[in-house]
Amino acid sequence: MPTLHISRKPIYWITFISLQISCLIICLEIMARLTAPHTALPPMSFGADYRRFEVQIARLDTYSQEYGTIDCIFIGSSLVEKGIQPAIFSQQYQNAFGESVNCFNMGLGSITMSTIGAIVPALINRYNPKIIIVGTQARAYNEDYLLTITNNPTHQAEHDLPTNFWVQHQAGNHNWQGVLWDHLYLYRFYLTFGAAFGAGYGGTTLQQEIHITEDGYQDLIGNNTDVTIAVNRNTPQDRDIGLLNFFADYSISENDLNAIYDLGHIDSTEIIIIEMPIHTSYTDFFIDGLDGYQTFINTLTEATQTTKIPLWRTTPFFNRTIPDEFWFDRYHLNEDGSPILTAWIANQVIHAIKNGKLPALHTLEPKT
């Protein structure tokens, strides 16, 4: 009876090729890890459609590696990004206590409160800051309207950020996709260049990504809107049209309000909410004017009192102290206004520490 002979050469070749591919992938991964800290390439992606967030995380990682610890993080929309200077805050703190602190500005475009509530736990688990200062304003609580604006993928990307696998993984809701994006540099480089020319970049150019600001702050120069001219609903200035539409039927989204209650459950890091300053003319965007804005403040106050989160009001103090020329528009401070706000926040923190309402941000030496 003839013997059946089975050639094993194809199996050997498949095994050999598989080993070669595996070795190549491992070598590329090693190269990616060695290259990443020193490359001028754009920061690596971790699968988020909101590229601006990925860029800020890359900056924060670099800052953390450079200085060792992160003592405080400022987070909020562009009002925070353009309005709070960590370097000035740190200098004020050092003047008061003789100790330096490391602070970072995590301002993110038009981010809403619901997204902030999802990001904060991830920032706490990853960087362990002693305090997170959340800058907020009425625009951050109308997520439902922002999602109705067509042809703006950034708003949708910001809205989807809390469900991103990497963000969920950092916040403690571990998943295998988040683990891959956190550890496989080669895959993250692939995601970066795969999205380089897609809508996922959310308007962030390669040039912006390569330019890294150490502490996250980027200033606004000059004046975009003449705030001395009152808001006119019939013939508005160009910069006023969007906000007139936004506040025409203003309501607070439930998801955004619930984020405050979620922050109230955090006990590992001090949380403070700051009402970001607005020009006096800003309330004219509301149909009910100042009464409409006061309704928002009353709702915010009730939520923070329920959760025991300190709410620091900036109005009417800033309306009396910041000149019109220090405003970029009716709700953004320019390069001359942001130092005033930053110094005020620093003084509030310093006063709270000295009065025992906040723990010190620097590491206290043990008593001998």
Q: Give pLDDT tens digits for 217-253.
A: 988 888 888 899 889 888 888 888 888 888 888 889 9
Mapped onto helix, strand or coil, the DSSP state of residue 312 is strand
Considering the entire predicted model, what is its pTM? 0.85
Q: How many CB atoms lie within 10 A of CB 259?
A: 27
Q: Comparing 55 with 10, which gets the higher pLDDT? A: 55
At 186-205, the pLDDT tens digits run: 666 656 665 554 434 444 44
Q: What is the CATH number of domain 75-152+214-354?
A: 3.40.50.1110
Whether residue 308 is predicted with pLDDT greater than 70 in this model: the reply is: yes
Q: Which residues of 9-35 are buried (b: 16+ CB within 10 A; e: fewer)?
A: eeeeeeeeeeeeeeeeeeeebeebeee
In what helix (H) or strand (E) does residue 123 lie, and over which residues does it extend?
Answer: helix 113-127
Residues 6+ apart with CB under 8 A from 168: 162, 174, 175, 178
Percentage, residues of the chain above pLDDT 70: 77
Q: Where are the beta strands (DSSP E) in 77-187?
A: 103-107, 131-136
Looking at residue 205, its pLDDT comes to 46
> What is d(CA 313, CA 263) in angstroms, rounded to the nearest whole number?
18
Q: Are 325 and 76 in contact (CB under 8 A)?
A: no
157, two tokens = 């990307």
> Where do the domains of the chain lie?
75-152+214-354
Whether residue 344 is predicted with pLDDT greater than 80 in this model: the reply is: yes
14, two tokens = 């498949």
Quick one: pLDDT band at residue 31, thresholds 50, 70, 90? low
CA dihedral (352, 126, 268, 100) in degrees, to 10, reads -30
Whether residue 40 is predicted with pLDDT greater than 50 in this model: the reply is: no
User: CA dist 325 to 240, 282, 328, 332, 352, Å?
Assistant: 17, 15, 8, 11, 31
> What is d(CA 360, CA 265) in angstroms, rounded to the nearest whole number?
21
Whether residue 360 is predicted with pLDDT greater than 60 in this model: the reply is: yes
55, two tokens = 């860029």
